A and B are shown apart, each in its own frame.
Chain A
């Protein structure tokens, strides 16, 4: 148990902070264009000189693969620059002693420039800031979120395979435990989700509150859900308001756990509740048979600690202090919550 342990909280916070600082010392993973020998300003060529993209990227309108070498060669540069002049290599090459070409990043994405240009998607639509870019970098490449503006699953497909081919399937991004994890990711990094899923309406593909076609739960889940609920495979309350949702079947159709009918249940249900109180609360919190309302644990005389239906009449006459007062594992605390606060629950019995 982790209750009433502020030192532990402070230790955990300290560890988390330390971990954060350690991790911050390591650079995060990024996808950068490999270092290039080429010095090139799109701002000068496109922005200032208004040179058409296709003047340099001559094959772009017939390129049907992202992997095609679409970057210009010295032949294209030679249309304006004297590439034979050894004295001016430094204009374009950082290392004028041993000049080399572009280092292209490996492209695993499928992309058809020709088809997009045919559909009047202009270069600037995807490479928006190219006219103000002073150097070649991955910043000039469109991010996936931009693709998804059009490929939103409506008229244009948002199928992973369309761009990623067989290199990526949905389960690579959302593996088998994703049901449990996706909420955490969405809370911390919402834009990661919206990169593919446009707006909150896509959440409703799953979170629409029904089980009509087995997308979320197996069609027989109505009969087997107890296995996952007790096993905590999923946290039901994340989606369902347990208090009303469970009762709508369990109470109305009188679906009672089998062990409730065992004779031993009367004596051992307290321990069962302590071990898995969610299981009890799922039905009893909203029903008419909670601990007190059932009549078993009702304080009928209204005087705290004196109802012998619950325990002996003198149970409330413990002397102050003593072993029970300071030992949180004492049997009193199997039922009573020690809040350690004046006026609150069990402590409030005496400390008003």
Chain B
């Protein structure tokens, strides 16, 4: 049986299991969304429809146990000139969830996104959550990673295994130290193996988070992160220091050469001047072994209107831009929105001239009481590579809820 057919069979099997169960009442919610994106590139006019479905089916529950099915999927193609990947059906999630409240146990079976502080992946597999023996919380997952380019396939365990988890100890309301672990194989060999220890703590107006990552393969620390933030009624301040290895697979040819770590220092601040009016600033230093880069942005926000400036210079190139966004609601049913970005950049010092880039969009949104939302948006782009590029984006979304 081909891998693609095997994926389809797994989805069919999951739904069949669900249908075979005694379903007490229909309890469905979700959304269906149709989008149409219309633009022209150097050669062709592209007319791309996207059909998306999100569904939560609460199939059965009593006081202690609960079984549900969750899925989200999107189909896309091009009505005029297809890309190599068209048409594509991407099932992003399709899993059964069983939850037993007295034992504080949950199992998810099927395609799902899993993550811990040691890494994340989209897998076909199983996730277990168990926290009966509080304050100990266990999260474990295992499966095969999903290819983003060929998502219809379910790949083999021997070549694309993903295993990981998190064991956390919850002390009080807000102190959560945890140990995380993840292994991922690609093309048959180990491409990622990380252990991490992290902790979060809230004390009065302070929030702290720290993480320490370790690579067993290289026998070295792969990441150190410390973040501290402070907030009160009108202020939010945050500082972060991160030192990490570059993201290179352990089975990559690049893992054979010696490479250096990066350091990032980020600071951000937000000050509310009057209700609804705030100023914000964000600053980052990227420190490489042989160079630096610097970035700062600052702006003003008044309810749904915001405007700001950004400046970047150093190894990562020069960039200056003015950006903003606005959303104006005529009523609970109508809204108009817009955003823009006017930039001038130079990717690297070898580039002789700076390049201007402009982008803007303007849209109208209409919400109906039935859960239907209709929006139409016009987009405009201009830059050094493309002259005036006009695009149209239409979206129709229906939120639904069915309950006996």
Task: List residues of chain A with CB within 8 A of the CB of B351.
Answer: 258
Bound form: Cα–Cα A258–B347 in Å: 9
A176/B280 contact (C-beta < 8 A), A219-B381, A258-B350 known: yes
A12 near B: Cβ within 8 Å? yes
Q: Are B253 and A291 in contact (CB under 8 A)?
A: yes
Q: Are A230 and B316 in contact (CB under 8 A)?
A: yes
The residue of chain A having its C-beta at the shortest distance from the C-beta of B112 within the complex is A200
Task: List residues of chain B with CB within 8 A of the CB of A186.
Answer: 115
Q: Are A28 and B203 in contact (CB under 8 A)?
A: yes
A137 near B: Cβ within 8 Å? no
Tell me the smallest distance from the CB of B50 to a CB of chain A, in Å. 8
A residues 3-33 touching B (CB-CB < 8 Å): 3-6, 8-9, 12-13, 16, 19-20, 23-24, 26-30
Q: Are B361 and A220 in contact (CB under 8 A)?
A: no
A175 near B: Cβ within 8 Å? yes
What count of chain A residues pass the 8 Å CB interface test? 104
A187 near B: Cβ within 8 Å? yes
A28 contact from B92, B173, B217, Cβ within 8 A: B173
The residue of chain A having its C-beta at the shortest distance from the C-beta of B343 within the complex is A224
Binary contact readout B309-326 vs A (1 if CB under 8 angstroms, 0 otherwise): 000101111010001000
Q: Are A166 and B276 in contact (CB under 8 A)?
A: yes
B103 near A: Cβ within 8 Å? no
Of the candidates A12, A219, A336, the one having the most CB atoms from chain B within 10 angstroms of its own CB is: A219
Q: Are A209 and B117 in contact (CB under 8 A)?
A: no
Bound form: Cα–Cα A83–B258 in Å: 82
Q: Are B148 and A245 in contact (CB under 8 A)?
A: yes
Tell me the smallest distance from the CB of A283 to a CB of chain B, in Å. 11
A335 near B: Cβ within 8 Å? yes
The residue of chain A having its C-beta at the shortest distance from the C-beta of B115 within the complex is A187
Of the candidates B54, B176, B231, B363, the one having the most CB atoms from chain A within 10 angstroms of its own CB is: B54
Task: List residues of chain A with CB within 8 A of the CB of B347.
Answer: 226-227, 257-258
Q: Are A154 and B401 in contact (CB under 8 A)?
A: yes
A273/B203 contact (C-beta < 8 A), A213-B361, A281-B254 known: no
Bound form: Cα–Cα A28–B246 in Å: 35
A218 contact from B200, B243, B348, B359, Cβ within 8 A: B359
Task: List residues of chain B with CB within 8 A of the CB of A2.
Answer: 220-221, 224, 243, 261
Which size class do B's interface residues fall under? 35 or more
B residues 340-378 touching A (CB-CB < 8 Å): 341, 343, 345, 347-348, 350-351, 355, 357-361, 363, 371, 377
B255 near A: Cβ within 8 Å? yes
Stretch at the interface among B7-15, B18-26, B283-291: B283-291
Q: Are A276 and B270 in contact (CB under 8 A)?
A: no
Bound form: Cα–Cα A1–B289 in Å: 10
Q: Are A275 and B312 in contact (CB under 8 A)?
A: no
The residue of chain A having its C-beta at the shortest distance from the C-beta of B339 within the complex is A214
A172/B270 contact (C-beta < 8 A), A4-B220, A20-B177, A201-B30 known: yes
A302 near B: Cβ within 8 Å? no
The residue of chain A having its C-beta at the shortest distance from the C-beta of B139 within the complex is A190
Q: Are B343 and A334 in contact (CB under 8 A)?
A: no
Tell me the smallest distance from the CB of A235 to a CB of chain B, in Å. 7
Q: Are A177 and B266 in contact (CB under 8 A)?
A: yes
A residues 170-206 touching B (CB-CB < 8 Å): 171-172, 175-177, 180-181, 183-189, 199-201, 203-204
B348 contact from A153, A259, A333, Cβ within 8 A: A259
Bound form: Cα–Cα A209–B73 in Å: 12
Task: List residues of chain B with CB within 8 A of the CB of A341.
Answer: 219
Q: Are B350 and A259 in contact (CB under 8 A)?
A: yes
A281/B246 contact (C-beta < 8 A), A8-B221, A220-B359 known: yes
The residue of chain A having its C-beta at the shortest distance from the C-beta of B206 within the complex is A29
B123 near A: Cβ within 8 Å? no
Tell me the smallest distance from the CB of B174 to a CB of chain A, in Å. 4
Q: Are A334 and B377 in contact (CB under 8 A)?
A: no
Bound form: Cα–Cα A285–B249 in Å: 9
Q: Are A277 and B341 in contact (CB under 8 A)?
A: no
Stretch at the interface among A66-74, A94-102, A116-124, A236-244: A236-244
Bound form: Cα–Cα A9–B219 in Å: 10
Using a CB–CB distance below 8 Å, which chain B residues touch chain A? 29-31, 35, 37, 50, 52, 54, 56, 70, 72, 74, 90, 92-93, 112-113, 115-117, 120, 148-149, 166, 168, 171-178, 180, 197-205, 208-212, 214, 217-221, 224-225, 227, 231, 236, 238, 240, 243, 246-249, 252-262, 264, 266, 268, 270, 272, 275-276, 278, 280, 282, 284, 286, 288-291, 293, 295, 297, 301, 303, 312, 314-317, 319, 323, 332, 339, 341, 343, 345, 347-348, 350-351, 355, 357-361, 363, 371, 377, 379, 381, 383-386, 393, 395, 399, 401
A-B contact pairs, 21 of them (CB 8 A): A3-B218, A29-B202, A166-B303, A176-B297, A183-B115, A184-B117, A201-B93, A204-B72, A209-B90, A220-B359, A227-B345, A232-B264, A242-B247, A273-B254, A274-B257, A275-B288, A277-B254, A278-B247, A292-B253, A337-B257, A340-B219
Q: Which 7 A-B pairs have the closest CB atoms?
A: A231-B316, A166-B275, A219-B359, A230-B316, A277-B259, A3-B220, A220-B359
Sample of 12 more A-B contacts, CB < 8 Å, known A184-B209, A257-B348, A281-B254: A9-B212, A24-B175, A171-B270, A172-B236, A176-B282, A212-B35, A219-B361, A235-B247, A238-B120, A244-B148, A274-B258, A277-B254
